[in-house]
Amino acid sequence: MHEVRGVVARAKGEPVRTETILVPDPGPGEALVQVQACGVCHTDLHYREGAINDDFPFLLGHEAAGIVEAVGPDVTSVAPGDFVILNWRAVCGECRSCRRGKPWYCFSTHNATRKMTLPDGTELSPALGIGAFADKTLVAAGQATKVDPEASPTAAGLLGCGVMAGLGAAMLTGNVQRGDSVAVFGCGGVGDAAIVGAVLAGAAKVIAVDLDPRKLAIASQFGATDTVNASETDAVEAIRALTDGNGADVCIEAVGRPEVMQQAFYARDLAGTLVQVGVPDPNMKIELPMIEFFGRGGALKPSWYGDCLPSRDFPMLIDLYRQGRLPLDDFVSETIALDAVEEAFEKMERGEVLRSVVVL
């Protein structure tokens, strides 16, 4: 048993606190990881707000890199000393989706079975089965993906959630092709990664949409060819005007709001694709005339974690990063201490940061 610090959300809407937590030694199929860096993702805030589920208390943090400290008796995929990125898609290999050759949809992903707890024995619910705002965390071995140890943990950890979700929304779910026009709604860490993914995939036009001019300026640095401030103009009209009156081939919703999903739906060209990567609250609804869905053709696709397969995609993306082709460092607005997560949520809500990264 390891007594370490962890950032815990005790109740809906309550500020998070750094507390002492107990992390068990790894059992069969598990790995104990010494966390080096963990980014603050909007999904952590969704957990604190009770918008994901009610399984408080949560151990937050899920966008992390670190060093394997110990592994369970049967683990061969990683060993103590390995540099790993943590993932929330340790595929089972046995469910009906894995058996049909689509493991990125795995319906039965692995998490650690031994529980991390508070000192009084209360079980913690680790965010996305990870819980990495902590000095150490316990995960299923498949949740630790070994990558080039030359990469900086601060940058590498970002692939563990938001940046992978955005890159994959464009490159995998949206299947952006050379010459496509792409519109990205919401230019936080996820949306900017979608912009980078669209650029990597060869998009000819990448339109960034946000309400905040600071976010639009950053989106341009990441390769957006055009920007639309949706607080000043009708985003759908603006995107049509930028695409010869047609709309974009791929529209990516990276906010998680019904009005934005609606805009992304209507800003598509005929037969265009809408990718929804923003996470909605359970009470949100969208209403669409069926004829608009039918008549426009194309595809509406939710994207969880960018449809990534960590074992395939993380090492490849770290190689691109090491070659200077994937600007992971530019997503890091600031590095912070473990006890500054609550402050980082406030900065995120005020739109001041792309990613605050806890460095341990």
Ligand X SMILES: NC(=O)c1ccc[n+]([C@@H]2O[C@H](COP(=O)([O-])OP(=O)(O)OC[C@H]3O[C@@H](n4cnc5c(N)ncnc54)[C@H](O)[C@@H]3O)[C@@H](O)[C@H]2O)c1
Task: Tell how far CA 105 is from the center of its chain.
Answer: 16
Residues 44-103 that bind ligand X (CB under 6 A): 46
**What's CA 210's distance to the chain center, in Å?**
18
The conformation of residue 62, written as its DSSP 8-state character, comes to: -
Under rule CB under 6 A, which residues in 233-252 are in contact with ligand X?
Answer: none
Euclidean distance between CA atoms 222 and 239, whole angstroms? 19
At its nearest, how many Å lie between ligand X and the CB of residue 56?
Answer: 18
- CB-based contact 62:128 (threshold 8 Å): yes
**What is d(CA 171, CA 201) in angstroms, rounded to the nearest whole number?**
6
Q: How far is the CB of 70 from ligand X (least distance, A)?
A: 29
Taking the complex as a whole, the smallest distance from the CB of residue 225 to ligand X amounts, in Å, to 18
Backbone angles phi, psi at 248, to 5 degrees: -90, 150
Taking residues 100 to 119 in sequence order and writing x for each that binds Zn ion by CB under 5 A, - otherwise, the string is: ------x-x-----------
CB of 226 to ligand X, least distance (A): 15
Of 78 and 185, nearer to ligand X (C-beta) is 185
Helix, strand, coil abundance in the chain, percent, nearest 5? 30, 25, 40
Stretch touching ligand X by CB under 6 A, among 11-19, 89-97, 157-165, 319-327: 157-165
Give CA–CA dist 86/201, Å, rounded. Answer: 25
- Determine the Cα–Cα distance for residues 44 and 189; give it in Å rounded to an integer: 13
Contact status: 230 vs ligand X (CB under 6 A): yes
Q: Closest approach of Cβ 130 to Zn ion, in Å?
A: 9
* Candidate ranges 40-48, 139-147, 289-297, 328-336; the one touching Zn ion (CB under 5 A): 40-48
The 3-state DSSP class for residue 326 equals coil
C-alpha span between 191 and 260 (Å, rounded): 13
C-alpha 95: how far from its chain's center?
Answer: 24
Q: Of the candidates 32, 41, 140, 250, which one interacts with ligand X according to CB under 6 A?
A: 41
The three-class DSSP label of residue 211 is: coil
Q: Which of 43, 87, 273, 276 binds Zn ion (CB under 5 A)?
A: 43
Q: What is the distance between the alpha carbons of residues 307 and 168, in angstroms, rounded to a whole number? A: 6
Which of the listed partners (ligand X, Zn ion, none) does 208 bind, with a CB threshold of 5 to 8 Å by partner kind? none
Q: Is 167 exposed, middle or buried (0-12, 13-18, 19+ CB in 10 A)?
A: buried
Nearest to 195 by CA among 268, 277, 272: 277
**299 forms part of the interface with Zn ion (CB under 5 A):** no
Q: Which is nearer to ligand X, 135 or 210 (CB)?
A: 210
Among 32, 37, 161, 236, the residue binding ligand X under the rule CB under 6 A is 161
Q: Is residue 258 within the footprint of ligand X (CB under 6 A)?
A: no
Minimum CB distance to Zn ion smaller for 43 or for 273 = 43
Which positions lie near ligand X, rule CB under 6 A? 41-43, 46, 161-162, 165, 185-191, 209-212, 215, 230, 254-257, 260, 277-279, 303-305, 348, 351
Which positions lie near Zn ion, rule CB under 5 A? 41, 43, 92, 95, 98, 106, 108, 161
